[in-house]
């Protein structure tokens, strides 16, 4: 529970926040010679390692097809198998968690997955891309090799488990991944619908006539004209006569 909420959930939230900040950030590139202070030069050297532009990736779109959802689900399952290989490799080969091989493998997988995810994203989103990239195939091959190693050297451990429970676990894993992708797609669609409705309401409000200073001056001038005063005086007199007639009629009825 704490692993899902704190580690995975908090990591995903912070990662999405960083992506949004970098997407909206404007980069101003300048030469080191133009910077006078030493701190500025060091900061410029560090920023040299950051990307020049940032491309927003939208895995799911309200207009996405069913195959897009299936593609994202396959990616989620593949990474879950990668996480499962981590625990199996440590358990089968008795590798401590704080060992440098465990840490190095995680860093290595992270470095490989960066270009692999980009190539996979281009493959499932760009209609002009007809083949999966090389780095993506390398990542899939490494993942499958680790899975085969776990099945070979951990055969005695796997035999002791109940096959039915293992099948149920894989089915639950696939269904939960598909459900998560579907729910997030629905949430994204509803959020975009709210933004579109708010934008349409803003356009409607902007199309209404606005009372400016000139219009207000013209309005006051029209109301202050003699004809309007005469009309208002006449209507006021008519109203007073009607009220007097009503009062006289009520007094006669009482008598």
What is the structure's pLDDT at 139? 92
Q: Examine the domain organization and report whether 98 and 140 are in the same domain.
A: yes
Alpha-carbon gap, residue 166 to 170, rounded angstroms: 6
Domain boundary among 15, 33, 51: 51
The answer to whether residue 85 sits within a structural domain is yes
What is the structure's pLDDT at 57? 74
What is the structure's pLDDT at 226? 47
Q: Examine the domain organization and report whether 148 and 80 are in the same domain.
A: yes
Check if the beta carbon of residue 60 is closer than 8 Å to that of residue 181.
Answer: yes
Q: Examine the domain organization and report whether 64 and 184 are in the same domain.
A: yes
Domain boundary among 147, 164, 189: 189
- Residues whose CB is less than 8 angstroms from the CB of residue 151 and which lie 6 or more positions away in sequence, other chains included: 158
The answer to whether residue 104 sits within a structural domain is yes
Domain boundary among 174, 189, 204: 189
pLDDT in tens, the chain (255 residues): 666 666 777 887 787 787 777 665 555 656 667 777 888 778 777 777 776 666 777 777 666 777 888 888 888 888 888 988 988 888 888 888 888 888 899 899 988 888 899 899 888 888 888 888 999 999 999 999 999 998 888 888 877 777 788 788 888 878 887 888 788 878 888 887 787 777 777 666 555 554 444 554 545 554 554 444 444 455 555 555 555 555 555 554 544
The answer to whether residue 254 sits within a structural domain is no
Q: Name the domain count of the chain.
A: 2
Q: Examine the domain organization and report whether 164 and 127 are in the same domain.
A: yes
Taking CA atoms, 42 is separated from 39, 45, 46, 48, 200, in Å, by 5, 5, 6, 10, 47
Q: Examine the domain organization and report whether 129 and 36 are in the same domain.
A: no
Q: Examine the domain organization and report whether 106 and 179 are in the same domain.
A: yes
What is the structure's pLDDT at 196? 78
Q: Examine the domain organization and report whether 35 and 65 are in the same domain.
A: no
The answer to whether residue 225 sits within a structural domain is no
The answer to whether residue 228 sits within a structural domain is no
The answer to whether residue 140 sits within a structural domain is yes
Q: Examine the domain organization and report whether 1 and 76 are in the same domain.
A: no
Tell me the Ramachandran region of residue 94: left when phi exceeds 0, alpha when psi lies from -120 to 50, beta otherwise. Answer: left
* Helix residue ranges, H only, the chain: 2, 10-23, 38-47, 66-92, 100-125, 134-153, 155-160, 163-207, 213-223, 226-254
Q: Examine the domain organization and report whether 62 and 183 are in the same domain.
A: yes
* CA triple 95-100-103, angle to 5 deg: 90
Q: Examine the domain organization and report whether 185 and 160 are in the same domain.
A: yes
Q: Examine the domain organization and report whether 155 and 103 are in the same domain.
A: yes
The answer to whether residue 222 sits within a structural domain is no
What is the structure's pLDDT at 20? 72
Q: Examine the domain organization and report whether 69 and 174 are in the same domain.
A: yes
Domain of residue 111 covers: 58-189
What is the structure's pLDDT at 1? 64
Q: Which two tokens stand for residue 255?
A: 């008598």
Alpha-carbon gap, residue 123 to 133, rounded angstroms: 8
């Amino acid at each position: 529970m704490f692993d899902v909420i704190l580690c995975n959930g908090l990591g995903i939230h912070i990662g999405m926040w960083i992506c949004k900040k970098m997407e909206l950030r404007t980069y101003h590139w300048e030469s080191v010679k133009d910077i006078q202070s030493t701190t500025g030069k060091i900061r410029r050297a560090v920023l040299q390692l950051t990307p020049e532009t940032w491309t927003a990736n939208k895995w799911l779109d309200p207009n996405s097809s069913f195959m897009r959802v299936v593609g994202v689900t396959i990616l989620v399952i593949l990474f879950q198998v990668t996480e499962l290989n981590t625990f199996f490799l440590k358990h089968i080969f008795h590798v401590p968690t704080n060992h440098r091989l465990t840490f190095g493998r995680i860093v290595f997988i992270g470095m490989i997955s960066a270009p692999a995810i980009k190539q996979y994203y281009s493959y499932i989103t760009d209609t002009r891309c007809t083949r999966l990239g090389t780095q993506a195939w390398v990542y899939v091959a490494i993942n499958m090799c680790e899975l085969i190693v776990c099945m070979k050297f951990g055969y005695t451990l796997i035999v002791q488990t109940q096959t039915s429970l293992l099948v149920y676990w894989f089915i639950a894993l696939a269904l939960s991944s598909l459900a998560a992708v579907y729910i997030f797609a629905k949430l994204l669609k509803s959020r975009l619908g709210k933004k579109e409705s708010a934008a349409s309401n803003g356009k409607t409000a902007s199309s209404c006539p606005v009372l400016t200073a000139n219009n207000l001056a013209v309005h006051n001038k029209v109301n202050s004209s003699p004809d309007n005063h005469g009309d208002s005086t006449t209507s006021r007199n008519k109203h007073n006569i009607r009220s007097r007639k009503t009062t006289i009629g009520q007094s006669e009825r009482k008598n």
